[in-house]
Amino acid sequence: MIVRVAPSETDVFVVGGGPAGLASAIAARRNGFDVVIADSARPPIDKACGEGLMPDGVAALRRIGVELRAVHGIPFRGIRFLDEEIEAEALFPNIENYGLGIRRTLLHRILTERAEDAGVVTCWQSRVEGLDPSGVKIGGRTVRCRWIIGADGFHSSVRKWTGLLPAWSGARRIGLRQHFRIRPWTNFVEVYWRNHCQAYVTPVGPDQVCIAVLGNAHAVRLSNLSTLFPVLAKHLGNAELIGSPRGAISMSVKFPTVTRGRIALVGDASGSVDAVTGDGLALAFRQANYLATALASGDLSTYDAAHRQIGRMPRLMARLLLLMDGNDRLRRRALRTLAAHPLIFSRLLAVHVGVLRPSELTLGVIEFALRMLTSRTILEREA
């Protein structure tokens, strides 16, 4: 780790040194900008997350010169949904499209090293105090800059200083994460379903899995895994706990714009998608690519438009998945349909990871989505 004092002037100042901020800094640096990044924390920075990076996230990092290899974690080849006796699974479209289970601290370390190697000035344990017309206030002085990137997370100070308010937000849920020392039993990300609660299993090492439990505050308890998800608890057996559990808020939030003047927001600072999609980091890395292109063109409006576009499908997918969250009959009907028609599941997954465009969905997949929505309406009428 390199700790520096911020220079008096730079092209781009990134507020927030998590994965979204580091990816944005690396991408901007690759476009020839002088970049400073500041964060009040000391790396490696950890955060509660499922630690599964989807294929489009792996590809987005590759485009900015960050190559994640199998040695960094455990590749996974698809998604498996489980609900009592029901199992439905789909592989990613081809062998080149793999996800990676990787510890959040290791990912942060890799990104930090890549940023510093690229010439990004990193200012750790340095709190940004505010903005002024010429730049960013830090350490009692102002660093002049042309562009400011807010990558400071869900409770973004940059967003508050800019005055942006949400246009829409979904249900507020919580997520808890815990690591277990056990040899992974799957090369899928497994999602165990229960009313108002899901458990995500991601292999992250040869003898380690990450369990992330998502749901409302009343349903989510790591101590109740054996009651909530008995099949998962049987897999875990008496596996040793690694570290302490970590928690975070999970919800979808959309802002009317993610730019204002020379300020752009990225990652959770720019809005979020419920963690049920597993798409948070992948979205942030894709945003970083588009933002760097916009900076190079000198027109942040192109980033604003791209941000809206790439967020549409994850938000739609989150809404569809959360329709199943609180309705046993609808969820089990949907999962049985996916299990019986794996091609539909595979095509949905291909769209989700960006291999197929939404317009390439077959009539069968559209029919399946409409059937889920129709089923919900029928069930509501019967209730």
- Model confidence over 37-47: pLDDT tens digits? 999 999 999 99
pLDDT band for 296, please (50, 70, 90 cuts): very high
pLDDT band for 219, please (50, 70, 90 cuts): low
- Cβ atoms of 284 and 266 within 8 Å: the answer is yes
Smallest Cα–Cα separation from 262: which of 92, 132, 84?
Answer: 132
pLDDT at 142 over 90: yes
Say what the pLDDT of residue 261 is.
96
The b/e string for 294-323 (b: 16+ C-beta within 10 A; e otherwise) is bbeeeebebbbebbeebbebbbbbbebbbb
pLDDT at 369 over 70: no
| Kind and range of the H or E run holding 309 | helix 301-323
- Cβ atoms of 23 and 61 within 8 Å: the answer is yes
- Range ranked top by mean pLDDT from 122-131, 223-232, 337-346: 122-131
Q: Around Cβ 186, how many Cβ atoms within 10 Å?
A: 17
pLDDT band for 378, please (50, 70, 90 cuts): very low
- Over residues 35-61, the mean pLDDT reads 94
Mean pLDDT over each residue of the chain, to the nearest integer: 90
**Higher pLDDT pick, 348 / 183:** 183
pLDDT at 361 over 70: no
pLDDT band for 95, please (50, 70, 90 cuts): low
Where exactly are the structural domains of the chain?
9-49+103-169+253-315, 68-101+172-250, 327-382
pLDDT band for 96, please (50, 70, 90 cuts): confident
Percentage of residues in the chain with pLDDT exceeding 90? 69
Q: Is 77 helix (H, G, I), strand (E, B) or coil?
A: coil
Two domains, one topology: 9-49+103-169+253-315 and 68-101+172-250: no
Fold classification of 9-49+103-169+253-315 is FAD/NAD(P)-binding domain (3.50.50)
- Over residues 42-68, the mean pLDDT reads 93
Q: Exposed, middle or buried: residue 222 (CB in 10 Å: 0-12, 13-18, 19+)?
A: middle
Which residues 6+ apart lie within 8 Å of 308 measured at CB? none
- Over residues 168-197, the mean pLDDT reads 93
Q: Supply the CATH classification number for the domain 68-101+172-250.
A: 3.30.9.100
pLDDT at 292 over 90: yes
